[in-house]
C-alpha cells in the first residue's frame, strides 16, 4: 500500500485507545500475526478523512467484511469501525484491518514522500484547541439502595436482584452554565464525544477505558454498577484521577474518596449485644481507627476485589481496592443479615476446630476478648535426628505449627491440612542458610531440603561435628533428637582382639566357628563382631563402638581379626550370601546406659542395699539435729522417712504438695547425714531457686556451710573443688551441672539432692545424662509433680534415685507404661504402686491440713537473668547518682525521688516496663510464677496474683495466654468489676490477676488458697488487705502466701526497710503521703546502698 494515507501514520496507541479497549487491540494484533487479514485497501483516500476496507477470517466459514473510517480532528484522529460480525462496531476485526493497514502503509512508503509526511505532522500539530475551551470530565458516584427501587435490571449482572446498596458510576461533563450535567456524555456517548474535539484527550481516554471495561454495556440504562467494571477498575480509576477526572458524589453521597492503597478484610470475633456470652463472627475492614462492617461495608465484585465504606451518618463514601481477591463465600458472609454466632462456652471449639482453617484465608482478631484467640506463631522448621545406633542416624525435616497449646507437625513437602501456610513456609526457607557443608548433607541436587534420609559414617560425623552445633544455635531451626546421641569421638587405645571358646565347645571334636566368641575390646569396651564385619566387608571408613566412639576400619590391629575370619572359613562352610554366622550370642546393639555397664553397677548396689532392709516394719524414731526451726508433725515424718532411706543406702522421691516444706525436710536430712560423717551434699536446682536454698539454709540450719555456684569456671575464677572445699552443701543449677559435668563427677559427694526434679524427666536429655554420672551413695528428688504427661517421666526419676527398681526403660514401658497408659490395666497399676511405695512419699495440703496454721507466708527469691542484670545495674548507677544529687533538698525533690525509685522497682520486675527495646530480655519473675501456676493447676488449686503495676500484670496476662493457663483479670480500668469477679468465682481458671489498688478491698475470694505478691508493697497494711481476699471467713483451706523478691535489687532493700520503717516508707512512695515529713534522707540512702 503506497504511503498516501498520512492519517495512518498519525494514529498512535492513545488514539486507538479511544475506540478500542486493550483486550480488543491485543486480540486484533494476534489476528494480524496469524495472517487472518486477507486484504486491506484504501477505498476513499483523503487528507482529513480516509476509509479502509478489508476482509478478516473469523470463526465463521465466510470472512467478515470490514470498513474503517479515520477522521482528522483538532488534536487527534478518530476511528469508526463497521463489521459484519455480531458485535458490529469497534470490534477486533476492525482493529485488525486498521493495524494491518498501518503496517502496509509503513512498508510501502517512499523516501521522496518525506515532505508530505512532515507537512501532515506539522499541520496536525498546528490544529490545537486551547485548553480553556476543553470541557472537563467527571465521574459521578452514587448509591442505588434496593429499598428505593424495585427495578431488577439495576442489580449487578451476576445478581438476580440487588439485596444491598450498589455503587453506581456515570460520566459527567460541564454544561453551558458550568454545572455538571449528564446529557450528551453517557457511557455510550463517549466514542462520539471524541469527534467533538471538546474534551481533554487524556480524560477522554481514561473514561473510554472505563466504558470499554463494562461487562454488560447494553444491560443498564445510564448508570453502571462498579461491580461490573472488573478487578482492573481500581487502576483505571487511579489513572482517571491522574488525568484530572474528578470523582463527584451523587445526590445521596455528599463526598467520595478513592484511597491510594489497598485495605485488608479480616474477621473480628466480638461479644454479642445479648450479653449472654455469645460471640459474633464479623468480616470487615479497619480504616482510620474505625471498624467497618455490616451495612457500612459494601464488597465490590462477585469475587470481591474492592470495598466501599458508607458513613452511616453522612453517607460519605470511601472507595478502596482490597489487597487480595475475596471468594464469593466471604463476600456473602459480609452481606449476610444473620451473622455467625458462637454460643457461650463454645469458644474453645471455635479455636480448636475452626480458627486454624479460618486464618489460612483471613486475619482473625477479637478486640474485646470475647473469645481468647491464641497467638498465631510462624511455622517452625524442625530437624529431627533419630539415633538408630552407632554410626547411623535418620534425619527428617518437618514443619511445626503452634496455636496456643496445640502443636501440629507436618512433613516437609506433605499435605498441609488445615494449618499449612505455604507462603510463610517459603519465606522461612528463603532465609535459611545451612552453609556449604549443611547444603551438601541436607539438600538434594535441586537445592531443596531432603524431607527424610539416612546418614552414615563420615557424613554422619560431619553432621555431628560441623552442622548440628550451628543449627542448634540457629533461630530458624529447632533441632530435636530421638534417642541418645552416641559419644562420637575417636578411640584412643589400640583395639585388642581375643578369641574365647564357649562352654559348649568340645575340644575332641571339630572347632565350629559358631561356638567361638570373638571379643573386640577398644578402650575397655567390647565391640560387637557384627559391627566390625560390616565395616570390613562394606568398605566403610570407620568401625563404630556401641558407645559411638570409633576407629578407622583400616586400623592395622584389625588385620588380626581378618585373619581370624579367614581361619574360621577354613574350619566351617560359609553361606554364599556373604553373611557370617558367629555363634549363638547376641551381637546386636547394646541399649542405653546399660550398654556401658553403668546401670548394672548401680543396680547391683541398690539390690544389695534392699536386701539389708528386709524385715524392717517401721521408721526409726530419729530426731533432727542442727535445725533451728521446729518441724511440724508431717515434716518430722518426712525427715524420718528420708533418714531411713539414707541410712540404708537407698534414695527416694519426696513429692509433697507445693508449700509444705520440702526444702526444710531435705535440710534436716542433710544435717543428719553430716552429723554421721557423710560427705558434702550436692544440691541441683533451677537457676531461679538457687538463692532460695542459700537463704533457707541460713534460716533453718545456720550451722551448715553452704556454697552456691552462680557461674561457670571462667567467670567465677576458681575450680569447683576450690569452691566446695570445706562446704557442707554445694548448691548449683542444672545448666551449670550439664556444662561442667566432668568437674562435678570428679568430686566425692555424700549425697545428691535434685530440687524441682522434673527438670530431668527426659531420660534422653543431656541434663539427665549428667545427673546419672554423679556418683553419690544417696540420691533424693524433690518435686511436686513427679510426672506431668507420661509415666516414662517418673521412670527417669526412679532410675536416678532407685536404679534397681526398673533398670531398663524398655522393660518399664513393656511392664508398666504401656499397660497402664494405653490399656488401662488396673492390676499393672496396682503392682506398680506397691513396688514404688517405699521410695515415693507424697502429702497434699488436704492430707496435712490439721497440722497447718491458717496461713503460711514464704519469700521466693528470684535471680535476674544475665541480660536483665546488666540493664538493671546500668540504670541503678544512673538513678543512684540522680537521687543522691536530689537528697540535699529532700522535701522539694520528693516527687522526682519517688519517680526514680518507682523506675528501679519496675526494672526489678521486667526491663521492658521501662524501655520497649528490652522486650526480648524476659522476666525471671514471670517464669517462676508460670512454673508455680502450672503445678497448682495440675493439682486443682487456684491462686490470686497481685501487683501494683498494671503494665506488669498485662505482660503476665500475655504470658499466661501463650502458656494456655486460664485466668481472670481485674484492675482499676475494668468496667464490669462484678463480671470479672464472677468469672473467677464461678469458673475454673486457676489464676486471678488483680492490681493491688483495685482488689485490695471489698472482695471475698475464698475459692483461692494460694496468693502471689509479685512486687513488694510499700504499705504492709495494704498488702495484708490483699492477702486477706483469700484468707478470711469462709476459707476452709490453708492459705499459702508467696512474695516474689528479685535478689540484689531495690526489692531486697525494700523488704529490709519495711521490717524497720514500713509506715515511714509508705509516706515516701504513697501518693497520699507525698507531703509527709516523717521520712529522712537516710532512709532513701539505705534503699540505694550496696
pLDDT digits (tens, 9 = 90+) for 845-896: 777 766 656 778 888 999 998 999 999 988 888 888 887 777 777 777 778 8
The owner of cell 544455635 is 473
Among 583-587, 709-713, 1062-1066, the range of highest mean pLDDT: 709-713
Q: Please determine, for residue 498, whether its predicted confidence score (pLDDT) is greater than 80.
A: no
* Ranges 41-45, 486-490, 935-939: which has the least confidence: 41-45
> Residue 960 pLDDT more than 90?
yes
**Could you tell me which residue, 92 or 820, shows the higher pLDDT?**
92
Contacts of 362-366 with CB under 8 Å at 24 or more apart are 362/265, 362/266, 362/267, 362/283, 362/330, 363/264, 363/266, 363/267, 364/266, 364/267, 364/268, 364/269, 365/266, 365/267, 365/268, 365/269, 366/268, 366/269, 366/270, 366/279
Confidence category of residue 1077, pLDDT binned at 50, 70, 90 = very low
Q: Considering only 118-122, 140-144, 569-573, which range has the smallest mean pLDDT?
A: 569-573
Closest CA to 883 of 872, 897, 893, 873: 897
* Mean pLDDT along residues 803-825: 81
* DSSP labels, 567-625: HHHHHSPPPTTS-----SS--SPPPTGGGGTHHHHHHHHHHHHHHHTTT--S-------
- In whole angstroms, how far apart are CA 184 and each of 15, 90, 137, 196, 567? 21, 20, 12, 11, 111
Distance of alpha carbon 857 from alpha carbon 860, whole angstroms? 10
Question: How far apart are the C-alpha atoms of 684 and 735, rounded to whole Å?
Answer: 9
For residues 2 and 196, give the distance between their C-alpha atoms in angstroms, rounded to a whole number. 30
- The pLDDT of 642-652, averaged and rounded, is 86
Structure-block grid coordinates of residue 1005:
475470694
Q: What are the pLDDT digits (tens) for 202-220? A: 888 888 888 888 876 555 5
Q: What is the distance between the terminal CA atoms of the chain, rounded to a whole angstrom?
A: 102
Segment 776-790 shows an average pLDDT of: 84
> What is the rounded distance in angstroms from the CA atom of residue 909 to the CA atom of residue 949?
10
> What local confidence, expressed as pLDDT, does residue 139 receive?
93
- Is 778 in contact with 647 (CB distance < 8 Å)? no
Q: What phi, psi does 111 have (nearest 5°)?
A: -60, -30
**Cell digits of residue 209:** 477505558
Tell me the DSSP string of 797-819: HHHHH-TTTS--HHHHIIIIIHH
What's the CA gap between 998 and 972, in Å, rounded? 5
The predicted model gives 53-81 an average pLDDT of 83
- More confident call, 134 vs 133: 134
Mean pLDDT value across residues 706-729: 91
Q: What is the mean pLDDT of the chain?
A: 78
pLDDT the model gives residue 870:
92
370-379 pLDDT per residue, tens = 888 888 778 8
CA 162 to chain centre: 44
Q: Report how far apart, in Å, the C-alpha atoms of 103 and of each of 5, 76, 100, 883 are.
A: 12, 20, 5, 88
Q: What is the pTM of this model?
A: 0.40
1033 pLDDT more than 50: no
Pairing state between β 77-83 and 64-72: antiparallel
Quote the cell numbers at residue 762: 527426659
Q: Is the pLDDT reported for residue 754 higher than 90?
A: yes
Proportion of the chain above pLDDT 70, given as a percent: 77
Q: Which of 836, 829, 925 minimizes the C-alpha distance to 872?
A: 925
- Cell (9 digits) for 379: 511455622
Q: Residue 143: what are its φ and ψ, rounded to 5°?
A: -115, 125
Query: Does position 685 have pLDDT exceeding 50, yes or no?
Result: yes
Q: Average the pLDDT over each of 271-275, 656-660, 922-926, 942-946 and give the range with the smallest value.
A: 656-660
Give percent above pLDDT 90 in the chain.
23
Q: Burial level of 894, CB count in 10 A (0-12/13-18/19+)?
A: buried
Max mean pLDDT range (168-177, 480-489, 520-529, 669-678): 669-678
Q: Does residue 730 sit in helix, strand or coil?
A: strand
**∠ CA 685-686-687 to the nearest 5 degrees?**
110
The span from the CA of 502 to the CA of 514, in Å, is: 9
| The pLDDT value given to residue 157 | 55
Give the model's pLDDT for residue 503: 43
Residue 1081's pLDDT band (cuts 50, 70, 90):
low
Using one digit for the tens of pLDDT, what is the confidence trace for 1044-1066?
A: 999 988 888 877 766 654 333 23
> In whole angstroms, what is the distance from residue 214 CA to residue 191 CA?
14
| Residues β-bridged to residue 915 | none
Strand order in the sheet with 1010-1013: 855-862, 1039-1046, 1010-1013, 943-947, 991-995, 967-970
Least Cα distance to 77 among 201, 243, 173 occurs for: 201
Helices (H), 449-580: 457-462, 468-473, 529-537, 559-571
What per-residue string of b and e applies to 934-968 under the rule 16 or more CB within 10 Å gives b? bbbbeeebbbbbbbbbbebbebbbebbbeeebbbb
d(CA 1080, CA 1045): 25
Give 522's strand partners. Answer: 525
The DSSP symbol for 648 reads T
Cα 337 from Cα 236, distance rounded (Å): 32
* Nine-digit cell string for 1050: 531495690
* pLDDT band, very low/low/confident/very high, at 22 (cuts 50, 70, 90): confident
- CA–CA separation, 764 and 637 (whole Å): 34
**pLDDT one-digit tens code per residue, 377-423:** 788 889 899 998 888 899 998 888 877 777 778 787 665 556 667 77
* Residue 131 confidence (pLDDT): 60
Lowest mean per-residue pLDDT among 263-267, 585-589, 952-956: 585-589
Q: What burial class does residue 662 get, using C-beta atoms within 10 Å of its C-beta: 0-12 exposed, 13-18 middle, 19+ buried?
A: buried
Do 291 and 232 meet the contact criterion of CB atoms below 8 Å apart?
no
Query: Between 233-242 and 201-213, two packed helices, what is the crossing angle to 10 degrees?
Result: 170
Which residues is 1012 bridged to in the sheet? Answer: 945, 1042
Is residue 437 within 8 Å of 462, Cβ to Cβ? Answer: yes
List domains and CATH numbers for the chain: 6-126 (no CATH), 131-258 (no CATH), 265-365 (no CATH), 380-482 (no CATH), 496-590 (no CATH), 628-848 (3.40.50.10810), 856-1088 (3.40.50.300)
Burial of 977 (0-12, 13-18, 19+ CB in 10 A): middle
For helices 894-909 and 866-886, angle between their N-to-C axes, nearest 10 degrees: 170
Residue with more model confidence, 694 or 829: 694
The answer to whether residue 9 scores a pLDDT higher than 90 is: no
Burial category of 139 from C-beta neighbours within 10 Å (exposed 0-12, middle 13-18, buried 19 and up): buried
Give pLDDT, residue 69. Answer: 86
pLDDT (mean) for 693-717: 91
449-458 residue pLDDT tens: 888 888 888 8
Distance of alpha carbon 1022 from alpha carbon 960, whole angstroms: 26
pLDDT at 51 over 90: no
Q: Within a 10 A sphere around the Cβ of 659, how many other Cβ atoms?
A: 21
Task: Say whether pLDDT at 628 is over 70.
Answer: yes
Amino acid at each position: 500500500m503506497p504511503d498516501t494515507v498520512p492519517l495512518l501514520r498519525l494514529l498512535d496507541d492513545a488514539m486507538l485507545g479511544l475506540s478500542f479497549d486493550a483486550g480488543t487491540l491485543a486480540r486484533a494484533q494476534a489476528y494480524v500475526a496469524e495472517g487472518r487479514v486477507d486484504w486491506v485497501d484504501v477505498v476513499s483516500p483523503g487528507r482529513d478523512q480516509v476509509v479502509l476496507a478489508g476482509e478478516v477470517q473469523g470463526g465463521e466459514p465466510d470472512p467478515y467484511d470490514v470498513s474503517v473510517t479515520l477522521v482528522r480532528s483538532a488534536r487527534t484522529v478518530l476511528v469508526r469501525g463497521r463489521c459484519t460480525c455480531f458485535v458490529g462496531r469497534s470490534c477486533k476485526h476492525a482493529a485488525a484491518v486498521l493495524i494491518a493497514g498501518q503496517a502496509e502503509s509503513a512498508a510501502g512508503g517512499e523516501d521522496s514522500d518525506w515532505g508530505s509526511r512532515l507537512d501532515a505532522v506539522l499541520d496536525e500539530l498546528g490544529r490545537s484547541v486551547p485548553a480553556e475551551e476543553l470541557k472537563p470530565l467527571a465521574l459521578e458516584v452514587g448509591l442505588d439502595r434496593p429499598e428505593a427501587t424495585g427495578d431488577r435490571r439495576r442489580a449487578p449482572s451476576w445478581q438476580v436482584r440487588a439485596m444491598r446498596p450498589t455503587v453506581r458510576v456515570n460520566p459527567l461533563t460541564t454544561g453551558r452554565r458550568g454545572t455538571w450535567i449528564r446529557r450528551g456524555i453517557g457511557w455510550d456517548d463517549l466514542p462520539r464525544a471524541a469527534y467533538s474535539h471538546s474534551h481533554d484527550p487524556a480524560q477522554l481516554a481514561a473514561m473510554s477505558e472505563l466504558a470499554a471495561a463494562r461487562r454488560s454495556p447494553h444491560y443498564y440504562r445510564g448508570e453502571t454498577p462498579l461491580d461490573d467494571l472488573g478487578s482492573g477498575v481500581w487502576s483505571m480509576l487511579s489513572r482517571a484521577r491522574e488525568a484530572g477526572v474528578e470523582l463527584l458524589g451523587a445526590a445521596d453521597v455528599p463526598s467520595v474518596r478513592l484511597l491510594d492503597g489497598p485495605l485488608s478484610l479480616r474477621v473480628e470475633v466480638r461479644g454479642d449485644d445479648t450479653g449472654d456470652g455469645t460471640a459474633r463472627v464479623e468480616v470487615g475492614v479497619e480504616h482510620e481507627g474505625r471498624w467497618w462492617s455490616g451495612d457500612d461495608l459494601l464488597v465490590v465484585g462477585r469475587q470481591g476485589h474492592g470495598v466501599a465504606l458508607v458513613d452511616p451518618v453522612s453517607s460519605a463514601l470511601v472507595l478502596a481496592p482490597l489487597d487480595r481477591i475475596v471468594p464469593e463465600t466471604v463476600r456473602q458472609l459480609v452481606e449476610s443479615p444473620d451473622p455467625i454466632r458462637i454460643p457461650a462456652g463454645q469458644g474453645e471449639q471455635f479455636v480448636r476446630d475452626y480458627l486454624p482453617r479460618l486464618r489460612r484465608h483471613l486475619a482473625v482478631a477479637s478486640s474485646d476478648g470475647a473469645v481468647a484467640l491464641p497467638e498465631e506463631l510462624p511455622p517452625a522448621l524442625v530437624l529431627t535426628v533419630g539415633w538408630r545406633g552407632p554410626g547411623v542416624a535418620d534425619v527428617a525435616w518437618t514443619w511445626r505449627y503452634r496455636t496456643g497449646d496445640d502443636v501440629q507437625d507436618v512433613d516437609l513437602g506433605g499435605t498441609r491440612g488445615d494449618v499449612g501456610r505455604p507462603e510463610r513456609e517459603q519465606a522461612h526457607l528463603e532465609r535459611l542458610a545451612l552453609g556449604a557443608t549443611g547444603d551438601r548433607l541436607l539438600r538434594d541436587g535441586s537445592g531443596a531440603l531432603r524431607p527424610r534420609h539416612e546418614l552414615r559414617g563420615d557424613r554422619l560425623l560431619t553432621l555431628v561435628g560441623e552442622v548440628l552445633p550451628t543449627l542448634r544455635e540457629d533461630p530458624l531451626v529447632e533441632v530435636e533428637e530421638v534417642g541418645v546421641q552416641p559419644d562420637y569421638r575417636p578411640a584412643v587405645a589400640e583395639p585388642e582382639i581375643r578369641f574365647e571358646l564357649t562352654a559348649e565347645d568340645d575340644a575332641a571334636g571339630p572347632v565350629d566357628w559358631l561356638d567361638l566368641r570373638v571379643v573386640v575390646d577398644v578402650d575397655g569396651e567390647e565391640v560387637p563382631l557384627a559391627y566390625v564385619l560390616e565395616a570390613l566387608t562394606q568398605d566403610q571408613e570407620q568401625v563404630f563402638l556401641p558407645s559411638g566412639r570409633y576407629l578407622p576400619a583400616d586400623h592395622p590391629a584389625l588385620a588380626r581379626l581378618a585373619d581370624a575370619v579367614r581361619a574360621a572359613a577354613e574350619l566351617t562352610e560359609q553361606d554364599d550370601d556373604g553373611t557370617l554366622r558367629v555363634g549363638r550370642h547376641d551381637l546386636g546393639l547394646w541399649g542405653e546406659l546399660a550398654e556401658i555397664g553403668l546401670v548394672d553397677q548401680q543396680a547391683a548396689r541398690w539390690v544389695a542395699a534392699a536386701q539389708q532392709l528386709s524385715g524392717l516394719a517401721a521408721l526409726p524414731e530419729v530426731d533432727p539435729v542442727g535445725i533451728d526451726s521446729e518441724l511440724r508433725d508431717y515434716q518430722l515424718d518426712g525427715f524420718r522417712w528420708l533418714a531411713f532411706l539414707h541410712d540404708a543406702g537407698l534414695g527416694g522421691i519426696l513429692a509433697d504438695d507445693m508449700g509444705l516444706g520440702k526444702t526444710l525436710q531435705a535440710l534436716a536430712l542433710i544435717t543428719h547425714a553430716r552429723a554421721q560423717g557423710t560427705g558434702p551434699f550436692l544440691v541441683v536446682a533451677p537457676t531461679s531457686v538457687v538463692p532460695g536454698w542459700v537463704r533457707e539454709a541460713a534460716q533453718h540450719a545456720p550451722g551448715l556451710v553452704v556454697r552456691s555456684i552462680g557461674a561457670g569456671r571462667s567467670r567465677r575464677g576458681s575450680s569447683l573443688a576450690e569452691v566446695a572445699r570445706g562446704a557442707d552443701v554445694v548448691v548449683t543449677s542444672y545448666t551449670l551441672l550439664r556444662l561442667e559435668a566432668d568437674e562435678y563427677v570428679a568430686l566425692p559427694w555424700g549425697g545428691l539432692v535434685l530440687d524441682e526434679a522434673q527438670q530431668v524427666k527426659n531420660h534422653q536429655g543431656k541434663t539427665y545424662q549428667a545427673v546419672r554420672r554423679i556418683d553419690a551413695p544417696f540420691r533424693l528428688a524433690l518435686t511436686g509433680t513427679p510426672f506431668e504427661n507420661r509415666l516414662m517421666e517418673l521412670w527417669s526419676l526412679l532410675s536416678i534415685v532407685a536404679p534397681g527398681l526398673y533398670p531398663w526403660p524398655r522393660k518399664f514401658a513393656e511392664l508398666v507404661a504401656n499397660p497402664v497408659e494405653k490399656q488401662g490395666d488396673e492390676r499393672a497399676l496396682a503392682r506398680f504402686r506397691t513396688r514404688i511405695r517405699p521410695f515415693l512419699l507424697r502429702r497434699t495440703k488436704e492430707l496435712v491440713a490439721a497440722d497447718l496454721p491458717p496461713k503460711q507466708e514464704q519469700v521466693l527469691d528470684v535471680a535476674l537473668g544475665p541480660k536483665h542484670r546488666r540493664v538493671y545495674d546500668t540504670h541503678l548507677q544512673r538513678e543512684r547518682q540522680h537521687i543522691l544529687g536530689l537528697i540535699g533538698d529532700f522535701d522539694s525533690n520528693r516527687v522526682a525521688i519517688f519517680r526514680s525509685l518507682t523506675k528501679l522497682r519496675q526494672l526489678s520486675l521486667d526491663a521492658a516496663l521501662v524501655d520497649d527495646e528490652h522486650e526480648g530480655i524476659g522476666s525471671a519473675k514471670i517464669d517462676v510464677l508460670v512454673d508455680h501456676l502450672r503445678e497448682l493447676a495440675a493439682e486443682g488449686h487456684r491462686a490470686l496474683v497481685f501487683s501494683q503495676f498494671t503494665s506488669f500484670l498485662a505482660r503476665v496476662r500475655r504470658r499466661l495466654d501463650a502458656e494456655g493457663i486460664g485466668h481472670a483479670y481485674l484492675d482499676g480500668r475494668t468496667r464490669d468489676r462484678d463480671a470479672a469477679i464472677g468469672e473467677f468465682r464461678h469458673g475454673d481458671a486457676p489464676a486471678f490477676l488483680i492490681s493491688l489498688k483495685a482488689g485490695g478491698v471489698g472482695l471475698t475470694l475464698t475459692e483461692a488458697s494460694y496468693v502471689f505478691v509479685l512486687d513488694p508493697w510499700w504499705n504492709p497494711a495494704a498488702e495484708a488487705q490483699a492477702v486477706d481476699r483469700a484468707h478470711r471467713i469462709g476459707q476452709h483451706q490453708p492459705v499459702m502466701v508467696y512474695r516474689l523478691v528479685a535478689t540484689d535489687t531495690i526489692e531486697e532493700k525494700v523488704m529490709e526497710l519495711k521490717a524497720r520503717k514500713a509506715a515511714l516508707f509508705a509516706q515516701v512512695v504513697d501518693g497520699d503521703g507525698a507531703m509527709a515529713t516523717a521520712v529522712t534522707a537516710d532512709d532513701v540512702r539505705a534503699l540505694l546502698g550496696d
